[in-house]
């Protein structure tokens, strides 16, 4: 398309003020992407948002005017409902568009780029007719930073646009500094045809397609934020590929400050599959949070530094209550900007599962008018609030937000934590021998057992490589190699820790309380600083009893007996050998798996078998 045609398309849909906002960027690639989107989606008009408070306020008001959100009793609070069948990430219809000759392996969903673009363009053709297309500029990571990635989002959902203002750093001024570069991520979304309640009605044609060649994400016929807020997990996929090319890491991790003795603060990052304690770790009482979901890592002057990619939280609201989550609960019950989604509403007040008080017996929720005992067309119970109901807030609202949240230089990573749901194998906390051992035997061997809240059988172990399995956008072996190479490039290498909050005894009873994780994290901080000694086992380095006994008193005012220690930290050799066999079998089927994986597994197996020959299947840490 010629530059004249681009100009004509833009001038037809943009008034003088909005055209001036685009022209001020002096970026042909920006104009071209917007013009192509207008030509395809055919909106009635286009609104261009800068970083100005007036533009941001316009978006929020539009969400209310269009009934995509409704005000609640507390000032600043709004409620949004997604369609009944549009309540989660559509994993099956999320695919990479691969150019000819590119193969990401069997574990990553993909389709050919030519046919995929034709399909998604067909769904988006005319999808914005009669609507306003909103052009948004954001930055992943702090602005004016080596970490920052400019992003351009076009959407016809004011709810999506409003959510992004809470979740991401505004980036219009970043684009002004970008000049004529085309180096930015692109996102095009349409909610598609809307039902009477303003929810996407054509969900059979819901698609989330990621064009790795043009670094563009297309989404059709959905409003659920996990499918439509492109800068979240969809952008993580693009960032993993960019990091692969440029020699840094994009990870599904929190960033937090753990406070040690004498006013010391050590920054940790951590990766946990869903329902394994990620958010509760990032929000531990007494510590500070930089981010709860996605982190970028760079080697800067020999040290690993990390930033929170986001500026807000799109969090699961189920079980948020004043006892377990006092900081979040405080934000959700005080004036200030909060978007609730898919919770129960009565008298303009939100109610959700596990909120710490009795739920009303009727109200309005994601299914419409609701009463206790309601069932859907398939006879399935309709809960008062959806199991995946969410809240969206800006991190600045949290009392425990860390002062380094927007530091362009990021924070020095003092330690990395990986955790899964494991009933019978791994001890509550251990340190890897070194970076490669940690990446291979902890991070790349991460498993999580399914729970009663998961579809299918309970207790099934699911492999989840570094808690990033759903988002890896390069061949799995290459992704592991990138992590190994990153550690090898560092002069100051962060220690790697594995944690397990879900160990059970023979009767199925949990061996630890929910708050014990605060002790494991405090021990990791002391260990990262070199303040405590360890016991060496075949699988890693574990704490000494006297250090944990002291920490349980200091952190929880709780007794930790020698029997507790012996039971929780005994080495379960048969279970560890079985895990090695499971994970190694997975990697034997991955063509590009680095040979060091199998060498590391073989060495760990040899250590375990040697100890078993000497002391039996189960070895006490006191022995």
Over residues 231-250, the mean pLDDT reads: 95
Residues 14 and 56 in one domain: yes
Residues of the chain above pLDDT 90, percent: 91
3-class secondary-structure state, position 77: strand
| pLDDT of 240 over the 70 cut | yes
Residues 223 and 266 in one domain: no
Over residues 321-341, the mean pLDDT reads: 94
Task: Quickly state the pLDDT bin for 121 (edges 50, 70, 90).
Answer: very high
Strand 447-449 with 461-463, pairing: antiparallel
| pLDDT of 253 over the 80 cut | yes
- Return the pLDDT at 458: 61
What is the spatial distance between Cα 222 and Cα 220, in angstroms, rounded to a whole number?
A: 6
- Name the residue among 426, 623, 419 with its Cα closest to residue 540: 426
Task: Quickly state the pLDDT bin for 456 (edges 50, 70, 90).
Answer: low
Q: Which residue has the higher pLDDT, 486 or 198?
A: 486
**Cα 522–524–525 angle (5° rounding)?**
65
Pair 343, 448: CB distance under 8 Å: no
- Return the pLDDT at 186: 97
User: Based on the structure, what is the number of domains in the chain?
Assistant: 3
Residues 507 and 393 in one domain: no
Residues 41 and 185 in one domain: yes
pLDDT digits (tens, 9 = 90+) for 497-537: 999 999 999 999 999 998 999 999 999 999 999 999 999 99
- Return the pLDDT at 1: 54
Residues 237 and 264 in one domain: no
Pair 271, 466: CB distance under 8 Å: yes
Residues of the chain above pLDDT 70, percent: 98
- Return the pLDDT at 460: 84
Pair 413, 304: CB distance under 8 Å: yes
- Return the pLDDT at 457: 61
- Name the residue among 224, 217, 233 with its Cα closest to residue 200: 224
Would you call 139 a catalytic residue per the annotation?
no
Over residues 192-197, the mean pLDDT reads: 92
Residues 255 and 242 in one domain: no
Over residues 381-398, the mean pLDDT reads: 96
What is the spatial distance between Cα 86 and Cα 225, in angstroms, rounded to a whole number?
A: 10
Tell me which H or E stretch contains 315.
Answer: strand 312-316
Over residues 564-573, the mean pLDDT reads: 98
Please return the burial class of 322, using the count of CB atoms within 10 Å of its CB with bins 0-12, 13-18 and 19+: middle
Place of tokens 């948002």: 49
Strand 429-431 with 496-499, pairing: antiparallel
Question: Which ranges constitute the DSSP H helices of 104-157?
Answer: 113-124
3-class secondary-structure state, position 240: helix
**Through-space distance between the first and last CA atoms of the chain, rounded to whole angstroms:** 75
Average pLDDT, the chain: 95
567 is in which domain, residue-wise?
250-310+405-619
Helices (H) and strands (E) in the chain, counts: 18, 33
Look up the CATH number of the domain holding residue 331. 2.170.8.10
Residues 496 and 519 in one domain: yes
In the numeric block, which tokens belong to residue 456?
């299918």
Which one of the listed residues 41, 139, 151, 276 is annotated catalytic?
A: 276
3-class secondary-structure state, position 13: helix
| pLDDT of 108 over the 90 cut | no
- Name the residue among 441, 108, 502 with its Cα closest to residue 275: 502
Strand 45-48 with 132-140, pairing: parallel
The 3-class secondary structure across 539-558, one letter per residue, is: CEEEECHHHHHHHHHHHHCC
| pLDDT of 451 over the 70 cut | no
| pLDDT of 38 over the 70 cut | yes
Pair 273, 421: CB distance under 8 Å: yes
Last residue of a domain, one of 247, 272, 289: 247
Strand 429-431 with 349-351, pairing: unpaired
Local structure of residue 261 (DSSP, 8 states): G
pLDDT digits (tens, 9 = 90+) for 405-429: 999 999 999 999 999 999 999 999 9
Pair 156, 134: CB distance under 8 Å: yes
Q: Which of 102-116, 454-468, 559-573 has the lowest mean pLDDT?
A: 454-468
Pair 309, 294: CB distance under 8 Å: yes
Residues 145 and 259 in one domain: no
Residues 225 and 254 in one domain: no
Task: Quickly state the pLDDT bin for 455 (edges 50, 70, 90).
Answer: very low
pLDDT digits (tens, 9 = 90+) for 122-170: 999 999 999 999 999 999 999 999 999 999 999 999 999 999 999 999 9
Query: What does pTM read for this prediction?
Result: 0.94
| pLDDT of 358 over the 90 cut | yes
- Return the pLDDT at 467: 95
Residues 123 and 265 in one domain: no
Look up the CATH number of the domain holding residue 508. 3.90.228.20
Over residues 162-188, the mean pLDDT reads: 95
- Return the pLDDT at 554: 97
Residue 328: other Cβ atoms inside 10 A: 24
The 3-class secondary structure across 577-597, one letter per residue, is: HHHHHHHHHHHHCCCCCCHHH
- Name the residue among 238, 229, 164 with its Cα closest to residue 191: 229
Last residue of a domain, one of 223, 247, 271: 247
Whole-number Cα distances in Å, 544 to 97, 233, 253, 435: 51, 39, 28, 22
Q: What is the largest CA-CA distance in the chain?
A: 81
Task: Quickly state the pLDDT bin for 3 (edges 50, 70, 90).
Answer: low
- Return the pLDDT at 454: 43
Strand 254-259 with 288-291, pairing: antiparallel
Residues 459 and 495 in one domain: yes
- Name the residue among 294, 281, 299, 312 with its Cα closest to residue 251: 294
String of DSSP letters for 192-236: -SB-TTSSB--GGG-EEEEETTTTEEEEES---HHHH-TTTHHHH
- Name the residue among 262, 241, 258, 259 with its Cα closest to residue 250: 241
In the numeric block, which tokens belong to residue 308?
């929170």
Residues 146 and 242 in one domain: yes
Last residue of a domain, one of 247, 270, 292: 247
| pLDDT of 19 over the 90 cut | yes
In the numeric block, which tokens belong to residue 178?
């970008």
Local structure of residue 360 (DSSP, 8 states): P
Local structure of residue 388 (DSSP, 8 states): T
What is the spatial distance between Cα 314 and Cα 233, in angstroms, rounded to a whole number?
A: 11
The 3-class secondary structure across 515-540, one letter per residue, is: HHHHHHHHHHHHHHCCCCCEEEECCE
């Amino acid at each position: 398309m010629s530059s004249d045609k681009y100009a004509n398309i833009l001038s037809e849909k943009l008034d003088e003020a909005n055209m001036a906002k685009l022209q001020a960027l002096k970026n042909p690639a920006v104009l071209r992407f917007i013009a192509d989107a207008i030509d395809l989606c055919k909106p009635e008009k286009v609104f261009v948002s800068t970083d100005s408070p007036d533009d941001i306020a316009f978006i929020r008001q539009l969400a209310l005017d269009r009934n995509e959100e409704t005000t609640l009793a507390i000032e600043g609070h709004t409620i949004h409902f997604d369609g009944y069948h549009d309540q989660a990430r559509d994993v099956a219809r999320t695919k990479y568009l691969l150019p000819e000759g590119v193969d990401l392996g069997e574990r990553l969903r993909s389709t050919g780029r030519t046919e995929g673009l034709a399909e998604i363009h067909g769904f988006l053709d005319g999808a914005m007719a009669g609507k306003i297309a909103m052009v948004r500029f954001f930055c992943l990571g702090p602005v004016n930073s080596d970490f920052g990635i400019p992003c351009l989002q076009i959407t016809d959902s004011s709810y999506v646009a409003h959510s992004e203002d809470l979740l991401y750093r505004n980036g219009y001024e970043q684009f002004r500094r970008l000049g004529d570069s085309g180096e930015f991520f692109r996102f095009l979304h349409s909610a598609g045809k809307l039902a009477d309640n303003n929810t996407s009605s054509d969900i059979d044609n819901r698609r989330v397609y990621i064009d790795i060649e043009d670094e563009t994400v297309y989404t059709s016929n959905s409003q659920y934020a996990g499918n439509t807020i492109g800068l979240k997990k969809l952008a993580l996929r693009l960032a993993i590929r960019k990091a692969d090319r440029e020699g840094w890491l994009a990870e599904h991790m929190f960033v937090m400050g753990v406070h040690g003795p004498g006013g010391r603060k050590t920054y940790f990052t951590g990766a946990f599959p869903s329902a394994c304690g990620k958010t509760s770790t990032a929000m531990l009482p007494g510590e500070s949070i930089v981010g709860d979901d996605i982190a970028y890592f760079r080697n800067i002057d020999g040290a690993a530094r990390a930033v929170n990619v986001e500026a807000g939280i799109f969090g699961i609201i189920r079980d948020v209550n004043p006892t377990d989550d006092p900081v979040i609960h405080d934000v959700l019950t005080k004036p200030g900007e909060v978007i609730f989604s898919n919770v129960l509403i009565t008298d303009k007040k939100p109610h959700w599962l596990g909120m710490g008080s009795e739920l009303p017996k009727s109200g309005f929720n994601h299914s419409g008018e609701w009463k206790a005992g309601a069932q859907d067309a398939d006879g399935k119970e309709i809960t008062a609030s959806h199991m995946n109901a969410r809240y969206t807030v800006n991190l600045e609202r949290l009392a425990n937000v860390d002062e380094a949240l927007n530091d362009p230089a990021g924070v020095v990573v003092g330690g990395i934590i990986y955790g899964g749901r494991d009933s019978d194998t791994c001890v509550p906390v251990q340190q890897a021998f070194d970076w490669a051992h940690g990446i291979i035997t902890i991070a790349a061997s991460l498993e999580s057992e399914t729970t009663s809240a998961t579809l299918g059988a309970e207790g099934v172990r699911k492999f989840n490589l570094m808690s990033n399995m759903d988002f890896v956008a390069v061949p799995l072996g290459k992704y592991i190699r990138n992590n190994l190479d990153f550690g090898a490039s560092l002069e100051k290498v962060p220690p790697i820790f594995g944690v397990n909050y879900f160990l059970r005894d023979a009767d199925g009873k949990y061996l630890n309380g929910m708050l014990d994780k605060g002790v494991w994290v405090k021990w990791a901080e002391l260990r990262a600083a070199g303040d405590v000694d360890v016991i060496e086992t075949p699988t890693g380095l574990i704490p000494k009893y006297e250090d944990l006994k002291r920490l349980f008193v200091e952190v929880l005012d709780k007794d930790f007996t020698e029997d507790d220690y012996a039971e929780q930290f005994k080495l379960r050799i048969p279970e560890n050998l079985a895990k090695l066999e499971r994970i190694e079998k997975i990697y034997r089927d991955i063509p590009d798996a680095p040979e060091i994986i199998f060498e590391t597994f073989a060495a760990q197996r040899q250590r375990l078998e040697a100890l078993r020959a000497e002391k039996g299947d189960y070895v006490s840490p006191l022995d």
